[in-house]
Amino acid sequence: MSNSDFAHPTSSRVDYLERISRYLVLTAFGVAILSFIIAPLLAIAWQQKPFPGFLIDQTLVVNANSGQGWGPQVTGIHYPERVTRVAGHRVATPFEFDNVLSTLEVGDRIQIFTGTREGMGRLYPGIRVIAFPSTDFVRMFWLPYFIGLAYLAIGIWIYRLRGATRPGRALSFFCVVTAIVNALIFDVNTTHVMSFIWTVAMANVGGALISLAWRFPEEWFPVRFQPAILAFPYLVSIALSIWGLFTIYDQIHPWAYVTMWEACQRYAGLGSVFFVAVMIYRSFTGLNATVRRQARLIVAGSILAF
């Protein structure tokens, strides 16, 4: 008999999980690179269109963003009102909303009709169409875009150096989902072409941080014998992503996505707190001086990044 005849089933399961892990990380990199190519094209094209002075989410719910000469304090339209008519035209999707705006000129004054969760209608008769300010475009698109690009570059660098290890892949995956969140935040507020991709990335930030805390700078003892434990944080991320699939574009229940996004953000916040807490613990209790020093550097970097 060959040695393979006596292979332990746990070893086969570990190899299988390792392959899945690598495929998922490489897929995330592919999605990220595609997002970074498409995002500027969508953003630049959107900026050139007439702007009614407020931003909407993918179900026509007005969001709370504001800037130079626009936003709720200027238009009077507040989150979470939902746009139902623009310049006399009924709109049911962001595509219809954009089509109406494309027929307008900067300086036009239009009527906006909105509805509330309680079923009340509101009319705003004198909304002035403007050009989206360049300073806000830099602040809302280019700044997070280049921050995301930095995360993507770091993730690629780490994967090239340590992609064969679980901690290296965990750190790379965190970098890539954070990069996607930053690159697509403007799209979520404007064109909505990749809102679901952003939602999935946001849902995975918390899972990536919790999993990373179990692996870096040294693996948690039980993980060495039961690597499947590392899947638990991602199961929550998968559940949030599936929830997003059913709510993100739900025009029948246009406010349903709000609770889902809040859950994704809370999970990301929980992951951040858990990660920093574990790093602080390991900075004092690490098995050796190198681990303790790495943990302290991570804590200092996390505080600076925050």
Question: Whole-model pTM?
Answer: 0.88
Q: Which residues contact 82 (CB under 8 A, 6 or more apart)?
A: 59, 60, 61, 62, 114, 115, 116, 254, 255
DSSP string covering 229-284, please? Answer: GGHHHHHHHHHHHHHHHHHTT-SSSTTHHHHHHHHHHHHHHHHHHHHHHHHHHHHH
Q: Is the pLDDT assigned to residue 200 strictly greater than 60?
A: yes
Q: Which of 176, 169, 177, 230 is nearest to 200 (CA)?
A: 177
* Residue 215 confidence class, pLDDT cut points 50, 70, 90: confident
Rounded distance between C-alpha atoms, residue 148 and residue 138, angstroms? 14
From 139, 160, 279, select the one nearest 218 (Cα to Cα).
279
Q: What are the tens digits of pLDDT across the range 134-177?
A: 999 999 999 999 999 999 999 999 899 888 887 788 889 999 99
**Per-residue pLDDT tens digits for 91-140:** 999 999 999 999 999 999 999 999 999 999 999 998 999 999 999 999 99
